Amino acid sequence: MRQTTIGITMVALAAAALGCSTSTVTRPASAVAGGVSGVGSAVAGGAVGPAGLVAVLHPVSSAGAVDSSVSLGKVSFKQGTGGQLNVLAQVAGITSIAGQEAMQVADGQGVFYPHGLHVHSGGSCAATTQDGKVVPAGAAGPHYDPAATNSHKGPQGAGHAGDLPNIRILNDGTGIMEATTSRFTLGELVGKTVILHANADNYTDTPTNGGSGARIACGVIEPAR
């Protein structure tokens, strides 16, 4: 199912629940969960090759620890046509769906749990402290907002450029999201971060950041190898 929006066209697939062929977008679970391990350091510059950029997502605990030995999948950014970037997020092993409101797939063949997914302006997944409390992945900073809109409007709005479509997580902890966007370039993204949140994003400023909640996975955006 495809939805054309302002500045971003998306296909957000809950793969197995759609009841249609997904051979062009699905990957084996081993490929989703594999890839480069370790959070890595932010890349300060350098040319971006034809393979584009990738952020390997690692679990972030409520205490702020990042388990760099575990990959929950990755988010890839590649140059498309007409100045567009193609974004592909593939995850597996997501366990934080308990308590979330399940949504029905349009064809009635299953349910999924939407989770917020954003590009953040910081270059690290480390924890920070605020008012004496640990902020998991706090070093990832706020949503990427180069125009300084200070507003969270989602992928269709004129707010944060880093607002991506929700990714739909199935009961088995897997999910895929594809999007095409013109809101940023590959050069802008190098060394920034991608955050997967515990809750759905309602694409408004109420509550803060659309209510997407805790940062449960984080990855630094680096040149794909």
Question: DSSP of the chain, one letter per residue?
Answer: --EE-SSEEEEEE-GGGS-S--TTT---HHHHH-S--S--PPP------TT-EEEE-EEB-TTS-B-TT---EEEEEEE-STT-EEEEEEE----TTTTSPPEE-TTSS-EEEEE-EEEES-S----EEETTEEETTGGG-SB--TT-------TTSSS-TTB-PPEEE-TTS-EEEEEEE-SS-HHHHTT-EEEEESS---SSSSSGGGG--SEEEEEEEEE--
In the structure encoding, which two tokens stand for residue 4, read together? Answer: 């054309």
Q: Is the pLDDT of residue 65 over 50?
A: yes
Mean pLDDT of 71-85: 95
Most confident of 136-140, 182-186, 198-202: 136-140
d(C-alpha 139, C-alpha 153), whole Å: 22
CATH for 3-28+49-223 is 2.60.40.200
Residue pLDDT, tens place only, 12-49: 443 333 333 222 222 233 333 333 323 333 333 446 78
Reported pTM: 0.79
Average pLDDT over residues 196-215: 92
**What is the tens place of the pLDDT at every residue in 97-150?**
644 666 766 555 578 889 999 999 999 999 999 999 999 999 999 999 999 999
* pLDDT above 80 for 91: yes
Residue in 103, 206, 93 with CA at minimum distance from that of residue 154: 206
Which range of 5-9, 25-29, 155-159, 166-170 scores highest in mean pLDDT? It is: 166-170
- Span 84-94, average pLDDT: 96
